[in-house]
């Protein structure tokens, strides 16, 4: 992923794919023109890379020239096109092939046709590397098309966003969701995960998704997914990961303008971690970090026994039950620690200290993500 100014872009078309598309255009044009010597006219600025690669591949003699038009502001095409540098040579009776990097609304192309109306060329052929059929609203024929692409803003290979990105040899596509900070929060029982989740949610404006809460909500409200989950639970079976993922997906979609999410209680297995990665990817996003509160077993046992005295929770009163819960936590999360470590996304945070001390440590990790 790359960032230009305020926006994020993801890899979309590789250098190899671009070169293949250009070779295809070259072959088609040579086939059609035979021994007729064409004048290739590049439309600046965007087409400089295309023209360069194109004429290197073109196997026969040709002439090359440029005109410079401007029509773009930010990520939206405007109708107001300026002619900055016009034609500088006589093209009477010549076969002209326009080389465009991209055809979007077709406004630029319309201007190109206007320019050539008085030039008495033999024929005017249009070749474009990228073409957005959903955006094109003109009737001019496009003779050669390298690649059709969806109506999303791209950069690279000559194309820019506010002046940046033209130099990149591959093409990147604007991410539809803006950048989010998504955390998987872990902590053994008694580590203070709930307290810290509340703090993180406030400080970073994140949405806290506790899988337990999501399940209870869906079952209580008898949503389709809730009923489905319940049908497994009633049979004493595990709820399939896909059902849980579908519920999480609904939560993510409900909060589509969130700055990010804290996942709590999920994933618990490698398969679930992969599924969560896929879910985030489908939203043009990612898991940035697994943040795990690390607290020494003995400290946890003392904290939970202390809590048991006042909370009356039976499972907090028995030391062997407590130790077992802690052990179970480590058995389960060890796999996930490996999963996220392998992606350089595991952050262990010392969970011993005052609440404030721990929040400072957590902020230290998140601010660097």
- Given 203, 313, 327, 332, the catalytic residue: 313
- In angstroms, the CA 229 to CA 234 distance is 9
The yes-or-no answer on residue 117 being catalytic is no
The yes-or-no answer on residue 361 being catalytic is no
Counting contacts by CB under 6 A, is residue 102 touching ligand IMP? yes
How far, rounded to the nearest angstrom, does the alpha carbon of residue 22 sit from its chain's CA centroid? Answer: 26
- In angstroms, the CA 218 to CA 232 distance is 14
Counting contacts by CB under 6 A, is residue 147 touching ligand IMP? no
Q: How many other CB atoms are found less than 10 A from the CB of residue 34?
A: 7
Residue 99 or 287 with smaller CB distance to ligand IMP: 99
Counting contacts by CB under 5 A, is residue 42 touching Mg ion? no
By CB under 5 A, name the one of 38, 42, 46, 192 that touches Mg ion. 46
What SS3 class is residue 159? strand
- In angstroms, the CA 279 to CA 273 distance is 10
Quick note: the x/- pattern for ligand IMP over 33-72, rule CB under 6 A, is ----------x--x------------------------xx
Q: Which residue is nearest to Mg ion (CB)?
A: 46
| Residue of 176, 189, 200, 167 lying closest to 289 (CA atoms) | 200
User: CB of residue 38 vs ligand IMP: minimum separation in angstroms?
Assistant: 20
Give the tokens for residue 332.
């389960």
Residues paired with 11 in a beta bridge:
172
The answer to whether 32 and 58 are in contact (CB under 8 A) is no
Q: Which stretch binds Mg ion (CB under 5 A): 35-43, 111-119, 254-262, 326-334?
A: 35-43
- Given 83, 162, 230, 307, the catalytic residue: 307
By CB under 6 A, name the one of 58, 153, 172, 340 that touches ligand IMP. 153
By CB under 6 A, name the one of 25, 154, 280, 290 that touches ligand IMP. 154
User: CB of residue 25 vs Mg ion: minimum separation in angstroms?
Assistant: 16
The yes-or-no answer on residue 83 being catalytic is no
- In angstroms, the CA 313 to CA 170 distance is 59
Counting contacts by CB under 6 A, is residue 103 touching ligand IMP? yes
Counting contacts by CB under 6 A, is residue 98 touching ligand IMP? no
Footprint of Mg ion on 224-283 (CB under 5 A): none
User: Which residue spans within the chain are E strands per DSSP?
Assistant: 2-4, 7-13, 39-44, 63-73, 76-85, 95-103, 123-131, 144-148, 154-155, 171-174, 183-186, 207-210, 261-264, 289-294, 346-350
Binding-site residues from annotation:
190-195, 211, 216, 237-239, 265-268, 272, 307, 313, 325, 353
The yes-or-no answer on residue 94 being catalytic is no
| Residue of 58, 9, 11 lying closest to 30 (CA atoms) | 58
Give the tokens for residue 66.
């440029």
The yes-or-no answer on residue 307 being catalytic is yes
By CB under 6 A, name the one of 101, 251, 264, 316 that touches ligand IMP. 101
| Residue of 262, 139, 286 lying closest to 205 (CA atoms) | 262
Counting contacts by CB under 6 A, is residue 346 touching ligand IMP? no
Q: Which stretch binds Mg ion (CB under 5 A): 13-21, 45-53, 79-87, 295-303?
A: 45-53
List of residues contacting Mg ion (CB under 5 A): 43, 46
List of residues contacting ligand IMP (CB under 6 A): 43, 46, 71-72, 77, 101-109, 153-155, 159
Residue positions annotated with a catalytic role = 193, 268, 307, 313, 325
């Amino acid at each position: 992923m790359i960032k230009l100014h305020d926006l994020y872009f993801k890899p979309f078309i590789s250098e190899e794919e671009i070169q293949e598309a250009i070779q295809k255009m070259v072959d088609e044009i040579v086939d059609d023109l035979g021994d007729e010597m064409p004048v290739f006219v590049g439309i600046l600025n965007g087409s400089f890379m295309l023209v360069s690669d194109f004429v290197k591949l073109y196997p026969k003699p040709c002439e090359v020239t440029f005109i410079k038009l401007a029509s773009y502001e930010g990520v939206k095409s405007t109708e107001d096109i300026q002619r900055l540098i016009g034609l500088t040579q006589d093209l009477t009776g010549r076969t002209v092939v326009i080389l465009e990097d991209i055809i979007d609304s077709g406004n630029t192309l319309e201007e190109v046709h206007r320019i050539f109306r008085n030039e008495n060329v033999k024929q005017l052929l249009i070749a474009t590397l990228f073409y957005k059929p959903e955006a094109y609203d003109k009737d001019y024929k496009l003779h050669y098309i390298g690649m059709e692409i969806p109506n999303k803003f791209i950069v690279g290979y000559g194309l820019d966003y506010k002046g940046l990105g033209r130099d990149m040899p591959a093409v990147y596509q604007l991410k539809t969701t803006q950048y989010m900070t998504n955390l998987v929060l872990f902590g053994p029982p008694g580590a203070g995960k709930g307290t810290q989740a509340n703090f993180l949610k406030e400080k970073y404006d994140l949405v806290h998704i506790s899988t337990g809460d999501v399940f209870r909500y869906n079952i209580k409200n008898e949503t389709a997914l809730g009923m489905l989950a319940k049908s497994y639970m009633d049979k004493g079976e595990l709820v399939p990961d896909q059902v849980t993922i579908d519920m999480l997906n609904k939560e993510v979609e409900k909060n589509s303008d969130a700055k990010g999410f804290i996942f709590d209680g999920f994933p618990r297995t490698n398969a679930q971690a992969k599924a969560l990665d896929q879910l985030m990817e489908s939203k043009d996003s990612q898991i940035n970090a697994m943040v795990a509160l690390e607290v020494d077993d003995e400290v946890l046992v003392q904290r939970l026994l202390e809590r048991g005295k006042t909370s009356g929770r039976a499972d907090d009163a028995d030391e062997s039950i407590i130790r077992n819960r802690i052990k179970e936590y480590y058995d389960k999360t060890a796999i996930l620690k490996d999963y996220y470590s392998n992606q350089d996304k595991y952050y262990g945070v010392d969970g011993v200290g005052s609440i404030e001390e721990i929040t400072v440590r957590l902020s230290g990790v998140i601010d660097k993500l």
